[in-house]
Amino acid sequence: MTAAAAGILTDGRGGQASGGTRGTRKPRTNAPGSGELQRFFLAKPGSGNGTPELGNEFSGEPEAIVESLKTGLNYFVVTEWRGVADFSGKKAQLGREAARSVPKAG
């Protein structure tokens, strides 16, 4: 390995490999008044073709995690958004707002 390549792989602390930090992004939280609605689904068994296939829905993430551990299947968190645009300035500002739809019972 060349010295240049070794410099890429180290973080300057005695030649140790970097820890792979990705930034200081805050975890997403759902405040009661935020309007963001998250839904939790277990993956359908045998759905490994690259396209997510949603199975059973759970009322919260803890239930989805427990079922994922029991079955060995992944779970999905789905959030619904609506695109919005603000044309009041010189340049259009594109953004999103949480859709306020209620999950269907069933």
pLDDT band, very low/low/confident/very high, at 8 (cuts 50, 70, 90): very low
Does residue 80 fall inside a structural domain? Answer: yes
Residue 105's domain spans which residues?
34-106
Does residue 18 fall inside a structural domain? Answer: no
Structure tokens at 10: 């180290």
pLDDT band, very low/low/confident/very high, at 63 (cuts 50, 70, 90): very high
Structural domain count, the chain: 1
Look at residue 49 in the predicted model and tell me its pLDDT: 76
Does residue 89 fall inside a structural domain? Answer: yes
This prediction's pTM: 0.56
Look at residue 52 in the predicted model and tell me its pLDDT: 87
Does residue 39 fall inside a structural domain? Answer: yes
Does residue 101 fall inside a structural domain? Answer: yes
Q: Which residues contact 104 (CB under 8 A, 6 or more apart)?
A: none
Residue 51: other Cβ atoms inside 10 A: 6
pLDDT band, very low/low/confident/very high, at 50 (cuts 50, 70, 90): confident
* DSSP structure string for 31-62: -TTS---EEEEEEPTT--SSS--EEEEESSHH
